[in-house]
Structure 1
Amino acid sequence: MSHIAVERKRRRQMNEHLKVLRALTPSFYVKRGDQASIIGGVIEFIKELQQVHQSLEAKKKRKTNSSPITTQFTAESNNLKEVVASCKSPMADVQARISGSNVILRTISRRIPGQLVKIIFVLERFSFQILQLNIDSMDDYALFSFVIKIGVECQLSMEELALEVQRSFCTQEFHIKEM
């Protein structure tokens, strides 16, 4: 086989693998179709899946249901300052972080009937606009990933947003009030 034929075969295989990776990755992670964007998006997706896995493992190991909610801030990521607020409790792990001009909000919890509606109500109450929502589930756990736009009227910090969403997991009853 000539060098040219071998190279064509290699490129064809690479393109096929990239198509599979793009198909397996949610569209939010792959914004363009070039090779670098596909691979970068897959890397981000895998990192998030690892975080979900670690969080689920940590929940599995928890022995008590009385651990307090904690909030943490981090600032790093390839020379870009990033604000991340996390609230963890036996009910749910909530993370809010600024990504460009939007906020990425993630929750991991056991499946709770009506919980998604509660979270959406909290977001709308504080003038956030939901741009995208991804729902993933694994066994009896649910992962909600929101991309939200901050409304002009919104005065919440990332810490306050994470705390408000965390509180929605703690309420037994939920009533939508007229605004």
Structure 2
Amino acid sequence: MLRDIDPMGDQASIIGGVIEFIKEVQQVLQSLESKKQRKSLSPSPSPSTPKSLHLPAKPNPMGEVGACFNSSLADVEARISGSNVLLKIVCQQIPGQILKIVAVLEKFSFDVLHLNISRMEETVLYSFVIKIGLECQLSLEELATEVQQSFFSEPVFLNEI
């Protein structure tokens, strides 16, 4: 059945794509569950004051370094993988938000190599693979903070770019 979907792809690449998709869906589900728990434990903060959980950059069991920020609007994770940065953002679908995120990345000399957008109802998972530009002086924590702050700024529309 998978071969019928992509007759030119080999079995390994098709199965690899399916596995990656399942992992992304599981991550969205975990994020939704944690958001549900946070909402039930505390009153929701006002949108003008970002409430974030700041985790210091530290290696995970796979030896990668990362930083996470969570708020009522978005969960942002940035981690090094080889010579690139993996940036994952789970948030409610907000018109123009992807443009603000890309603008932040370009502002700090990151090049977007790959972007995957997965949507489940009103929740979106943006998965970026970005290359660090030569002029970039940002740490992973600063990158995660800047992306998180883009959720608290005014919307950007295509006609404004």
TM-score higher than 0.5: yes
- Counterpart CA distance in 2 for 1:173 and 1:52 is 24
Percent identity of paired positions between Structure 1 and Structure 2: 51
Aligned to 1:50, which of 22, 26, 33? 26
Mapping 1:21-170, distance limit 5 Å: 33=10, 35=12, 42-61=18-37, 62-63=39-40, 64-66=43-45, 68-72=51-55, 73-77=57-61, 80-170=62-152
- Counterpart CA distance in 2 for 1:175 and 1:54 is 30
- Counterpart CA distance in 2 for 1:85 and 1:56 is 19
> C-alpha offsets along residues 55-101 of structure 1, whole Å, 9 cap, x if unaligned?
01222331432282112234234xx4101111000010011111111
SS for the counterpart of 1:170 is coil
Q: Which runs of 5+ in 1 are unaligned?
A: 1-15, 24-31
TM-score by length of 2: 0.78
The answer on whether the counterparts of 2:99 and 2:157 sit within 8 Å (CA) in structure 1 is: no
- Counterpart CA distance in 1 for 2:92 and 2:25 is 17
TM-score by length of 1: 0.71
Judging changes above 3 Å, is the alpha-carbon distance between structure 1 residues 126 and 175 closer, same or farther for their aligned structure 2 residues?
farther
> C-alpha offsets along residues 92-126 of structure 1, whole Å, 9 cap, x if unaligned?
00111111111111111111111010000000000
Judging changes above 3 Å, is the alpha-carbon distance between structure 1 residues 68 and 131 closer, same or farther for their aligned structure 2 residues?
same
Q: Normalized per residue, which structure has more strand? A: 2
Following superposition, the deviation at residue 175 of structure 1 comes to 8.8
Structure showing greater radius of gyration is 1
Q: Which runs of 5+ in 2 are unaligned?
A: none
Question: Paired residues, what number?
Answer: 148
